[in-house]
Amino acid sequence: MDLEFTAAEREFRDEARSWLARHVPAAPLPSLETAEGFAAHREWERRLAADRWSAVSWPEEHGGRGASLVQWLIFEEEYHAAGAPGRVSQNGIQLLAPTLFAHGTDAQRARLLGPMARGEVIWAQAWSEPEAGSDLASLRSKAVRTAGGWLVSGQKTWSSRAAFADRAFGLFRSDPHTPRPHQGLTYLMFPLDAPGVTVRPLGRLDGKPAFAELFLDEVFVPDADVIGEPGQGWRAAMSTAGNERGLTLRSPGRFSAAAERLAALWREAPEEVAGPLTDRVADAVIGARAYQLFGYAQASRLTTGEDGAPTGDLGAAASLNKVFWSELDLALHETALDLLGPAGMLADDADEAPAHGRWADGYTFSLAGPIYAGTNEIQCDLIAERLLGLPKGRR
Amino acid sequence: MRFLPSTEQREFARALDGLLTASDTPAVARAWAAGDHKPGRALWGRLAEAGVFGLAVSARHGGMGLLPAELTVAFTELGRHVMPGPLVETVAVAAFLERLDAGAATEWLPRIAAGEALVSLCADGPYALDADAADAVLVVEGDTVRRAEGHGPAQASLDPARRLFRPRGGTVLARGPAVTSAAGHALDVARLATAAQSLGLGRALLAQTVSHVTRRTQFGVPIGSFQAVKHRLADILIALEFAQPLVHGAAAALAAGAPSAGREVAAAKVAAGEAGHAAARTALQLHGALGYSEEPALSLWIRKARPLRDAWGTPAECRRRVLAG
């Protein structure tokens, strides 16, 4: 139960902290959900990449620092504590890249990772369909074999970042005649401006185009843009999904920083407002610390294992993270809005919104947490069946 | 950094688990509740041989020095097996006497380490746990500590194995700021040990309930196949899994003498106490009327959860401590 950082870990923290202190923009960037804001965030990714901070855990040959999982946790703590911008390249760096490392080819990695890290190519997800949400394996968009590749048709929806992104990745049914729905799916990538692709931005709850519908009409995807074996896409996608709902999508640093800001808000609030909210503020602070320490334990388990045998994969334990961080995020933001009182109701683009609308925007975003990356109801089923060993039943 | 129990710590846990499993702790707890302390004291001696009470006693008094991490390992097992007695109080008194370094230290610490002395402590409210079974009861009031010379009648509590007494009279052992400071330290140790006990109690409640809902059939299927049942149990696993690192982290902070130790211990106490209590509520609900019956051993676990959640710092007190800076 050792919480002492090594000299190398402390050095890494100092280096990250001082770089961030010098480079994080003083004023927040314009909203990521506008063309202008998207461009500004892309530019920020370029700056991060220039000094090899955009994907610290990648190998050096791809522009990373070969950082350990603990170092990545440290980087994230510093990043969020510094109030640095949201990561427009997250879909690529945290979701697609791990899949490319595990299932891609050398040529794919050489071609795709550099532009991804530099923010030159921003990736969108293309998983859900109008009739395939929690039951993702029932998806119907298809990929039909053609000379040198595939013709892809169908409809994807709630495609994160797709309103402004450059390319997308997702699953398509390449064999409609398999005994089980998880079989016959192919994982592939395509440009959002390819012939046959129509992007229709969708407003999220507050009207901002944070995702989009994608209509695909015989879009040509070359063989070089298939990840892994055709028909074996489910396994590759699930390794990505595990990463998404587990530690890497929502690092503890994000919540530690938010909990610090919440505690500051509580200390500044008038006693008649702060007093009744004491328990909830304390619970948010406790929750953020719990997630941080849980992350350290998880990183230790992944790299050294309980008995010196690294587990390498979070497995169903990723579902514990997902439920915990999404509930924590909601509680943090709801408590912040309560502390802010009447001003807490202001939308994030209102002139008078406190903290540049950060809490309001975070609140809206937190409402989606229990839904995306696999709803919390599905996660609780996975926890019950795979971690507790309860019998399968009807969903 | 490697934030996981070491091989030695895991072996220690397994050894205690084995010892307690073989000792029929539910029967020990029932006897204790009926005022028969004999089986409990015998087991207490074996726990001392395994090294449990030496974890809060320095080497010069026959212990291993204060080892908070090992203490959390031990108390998790004690909670898992509903071991009765002033366990928390005895290690808290050991930590208190080590810090105070008064004459009483030489008298009591070697006996605590050897498992010969059960000591209760009254420092958080008017009652001392198991004063009738204890060889000594220390009472801390402000900057004064005294050894009580007697106690009032037993007050039954929600957990029949936790009988409470008002200590009476006694002679002053020490007075002054050193007492206040040592009592603050003892409170942290008591909170940490109680948090670990709640965690172990919750783990046992979850395991027993998972086993029950897997075997119990209604409407022709195991009730554990229903989502409403699954999700309650998933929530308990989440609560326990996220309380555990707080308990281990608080032990590390206490061991390092970190300035944040008091806050970390309070956070661990809130999370583990609430998780253990939630586990009891869920165990009760999912066992249905069986859970509401005294006779099955499960009732021993269910009835202990609430007192552990509230002992040595209620959740409200501990939440305030977390924010106190």
As a whole number, mean pLDDT of residues A123-139 equals 94
Domain B185-323 has CATH 1.20.140.10: yes
Least confident of A24-28, A238-242, B66-70: A238-242
Q: What percentage of chain A exceeds 90 in pLDDT?
A: 84
The pLDDT of residue A310 is 64
Contact of B205 with B197, CB cutoff 8 Å: no
* Minimum-distance CB partner of B319 among A278, A308, A383: A278
pTM: 0.96
Distance, in Å, from the CA atom of B19 to the CA atom of A311, rounded to the nearest integer, reads 30
Distance, in Å, from the CA atom of A37 to the CA atom of A39, rounded to the nearest integer, reads 5
User: In the predicted model, what is the mean pLDDT of chain A?
Assistant: 93
**Catalytic: which of A244, A268, A352, A385?**
A244
The pLDDT of residue A312 is 64
Q: In order of start, what are the domains of chain A with their CATH numbers? A: 7-117 (1.10.540.10), 123-233 (2.40.110.10), 246-387 (1.20.140.10)
Q: B277 phi and psi, to 5 degrees?
A: -65, -45
State the pLDDT confidence band at A305, using cuts at 50, 70 and 90: confident
The pLDDT of residue A244 is 55
DSSP track, B42-61:
HHHHHHHHTTSGGGGS-GGG
- Does the annotation count A76 as an active-site position? no
Taking an 8 Å cut-off on Cβ atoms, the answer to whether B9 and A1 are in contact is yes
Distance, in Å, from the CA atom of A74 to the CA atom of A19, rounded to the nearest integer, reads 14
The pLDDT of residue A390 is 97
Distance, in Å, from the CA atom of A387 to the CA atom of A384, rounded to the nearest integer, reads 6
A6-64 confidence digits (pLDDT tens): 999 999 999 999 999 999 999 989 989 899 999 999 999 999 999 999 999 999 999 99
Least confident of A70-84, A295-309, B29-43, B102-116: A295-309
As a whole number, mean pLDDT of residues B136-152 equals 96
Does residue A308 surpass a pLDDT of 70?
no
Using a CB-CB cut-off of 8 Å, the residues of chain B touching A323 are: 234, 238
The pLDDT of residue A2 is 87
Look up residue A18 and give its two tokens.
């001082």
Alpha-carbon distance A221 to nearest alpha carbon in chain B (angstroms): 41
Q: Mutate which of A390, A394, A395 to test chain B, going by most B C-beta atoms within 10 A?
A: A390
Rounded to 10 degrees, what is the CA torsion of A354, A356, A357, A362?
-120
As a whole number, mean pLDDT of residues B241-245 equals 98
The pLDDT of residue B291 is 94
Contact of B197 with B75, CB cutoff 8 Å: yes
Alpha-carbon distance A307 to nearest alpha carbon in chain B (angstroms): 7
Distance of alpha carbon B178 from its chain centroid, rounded? 25
Does residue B111 surpass a pLDDT of 90?
yes
B254-297 confidence digits (pLDDT tens): 999 999 999 999 999 999 999 999 999 999 999 999 999 999 99
Does residue A395 surpass a pLDDT of 80?
no
The pLDDT of residue A240 is 63
The pLDDT of residue A263 is 98
Distance of alpha carbon B256 from its chain centroid, rounded? 22
Whole-angstrom CA distances from B137 to B117, B146, B190 are 11, 8, 15
Using a CB-CB cut-off of 8 Å, the residues of chain B touching A297 are: 3-4, 244-245, 248
Alpha-carbon distance A176 to nearest alpha carbon in chain B (angstroms): 31
Cα R_g (chain A), whole angstroms: 21
Neighbours of B78 (CB within 10 A): 23
The pLDDT of residue B242 is 98
As a whole number, mean pLDDT of residues B95-106 equals 90
Taking an 8 Å cut-off on Cβ atoms, the answer to whether B4 and A300 are in contact is yes
A178-190 confidence digits (pLDDT tens): 999 999 999 999 9
The pLDDT of residue A307 is 65
The pLDDT of residue A245 is 60
Taking an 8 Å cut-off on Cβ atoms, the answer to whether B246 and A289 are in contact is yes
As a whole number, mean pLDDT of residues A138-142 equals 96
Distance, in Å, from the CA atom of B44 to the CA atom of B38, rounded to the nearest integer, reads 10
Does residue B322 surpass a pLDDT of 60?
yes
Q: Which residues pair with A156 in a beta bridge?
A: A214
Q: Mutate which of A268, A388, A392, A394 to test chain B, going by most B C-beta atoms within 10 A?
A: A388
As a whole number, mean pLDDT of residues B106-128 equals 96
Does residue A246 surpass a pLDDT of 80?
no
Does residue A223 surpass a pLDDT of 90?
yes
The pLDDT of residue A17 is 98
B19-29 confidence digits (pLDDT tens): 999 999 999 99
Among A203, A200, A141, which residue's Cα sits nearest to residue A170? Answer: A141
The pLDDT of residue A348 is 85
State the pLDDT confidence band at A148, using cuts at 50, 70 and 90: very high
Q: Which helix (H) or strand (E) holds B12?
A: helix B7-22
Neighbours of A63 (CB within 10 A): 19
Look up residue A273 and give its two tokens.
């407002």
As a whole number, mean pLDDT of residues A292-310 equals 83
Does residue A158 surpass a pLDDT of 60?
yes
* Minimum-distance CB partner of A6 among B1, B213, B315: B1
Could you give the ipTM of this predicted complex?
Answer: 0.97
Does residue A380 surpass a pLDDT of 70?
yes
The pLDDT of residue B102 is 77
Taking an 8 Å cut-off on Cβ atoms, the answer to whether A3 and B267 are in contact is no
Taking an 8 Å cut-off on Cβ atoms, the answer to whether A9 and B225 are in contact is no
The pLDDT of residue A356 is 87
As a whole number, mean pLDDT of residues B135-139 equals 97
B193-232 confidence digits (pLDDT tens): 999 999 999 999 999 999 999 999 999 999 999 999 999 9
The owner of tokens 């293309």 is: A126
Taking an 8 Å cut-off on Cβ atoms, the answer to whether B323 and A390 are in contact is no
- Under 8 Å CB pairs connecting chains A and B tally to 150
State the pLDDT confidence band at A201, using cuts at 50, 70 and 90: very high
Whole-angstrom CA distances from A141 to A147, A181, A214, A223 are 19, 13, 11, 18
The pLDDT of residue B21 is 98
Distance, in Å, from the CA atom of A321 to the CA atom of A302, rounded to the nearest integer, reads 14
